[in-house]
Structure 1
Amino acid sequence: MKLTIMNASMKRDDEGAYLGQTIFQAEGYQSTFEITFFSKRGKEWDYSLHFTGDSGVEEEMLAVDALVEENDDVYDELLDAAWNKLPEDV
């Protein structure tokens, strides 16, 4: 599935944990999504998926969440988009 990355960011907090976001559209879906990533050390990541702006179609959210969960390439593309925005001086 083709993803269109619209925006991404990554930062570290005062305790060294990573927090990143990627805003994207998935081919075939009307909604725009934001995935938020969190990791204490940059190795094991938790994520949360939600609509950007107004609520969208729940079935789309469920389908995209399943895609992210089951397809490592999709997950990695979204995480890499955020990771690549981490300032080098951090």
Structure 2
Amino acid sequence: MNISILDASMTYSKEDGYVGKVQFGVEGHSNEYEITLQSKKGNEWGYGLFFLHESGKEEQLLELEDLIEEDDELFDFLVETAEAKLEKQS
């Protein structure tokens, strides 16, 4: 599955921990996506997957979500993409 990164960001604060997002497209999918990431300490990540601009085919979203759940390398790639953009907030 070919993924093209559109944008990524991550912030850190004592209150929220690490909060990041990655906007990306998937080859063969008609819509683009955004994954939001959150971790208090940077090791256990929670996430939410959403359509980026407008709703699209739910089957494609669910297929992508299953892939993210099963493919640790893909999930790690998305987390590392956001971490690379980490901005410290005081």
TM-score (norm 2): 0.91
Structure 2, gaps ≥5 residues long: none
Tell me, yes or no, if the aligned pair for 1:16 and 1:41 is still in contact at 8 Å: no
Corresponding residue number in structure 2 for 1:11: 11
Counterpart AA for 1:86 = L
Query: How far did 1:20 drift?
Result: 0.1
Q: How does 1:1-80 map to 2 (within 5 A)?
A: 1-15=1-15, 17-80=17-80
Query: How far did 1:68 drift?
Result: 0.6
CA distance in 2, matches of 1:75, 1:54: 23
Tell me, yes or no, if the aligned pair for 2:22 and 2:36 is still in contact at 8 Å: yes
Mark the CA change 1:15 to 1:31 in structure 2 (over 3 Å): closer, same or farther: same
Structure 1, gaps ≥5 residues long: none
TM-score (norm 1): 0.91
When the two chains are superposed, the root-mean-square deviation of aligned CA atoms in Å is: 1.6
Tell me, yes or no, if the aligned pair for 2:23 and 2:33 is still in contact at 8 Å: yes
CA distance in 1, matches of 2:88, 2:14: 16
Higher strand fraction: Structure 1 or Structure 2? 2
Q: Which runs of structure 1 show a deviation greater than 6 angstroms over 4 or more consecutive aligned residues?
A: none
Query: How far did 1:7 drift?
Result: 0.2
Query: How far did 1:89 drift?
Result: 7.9
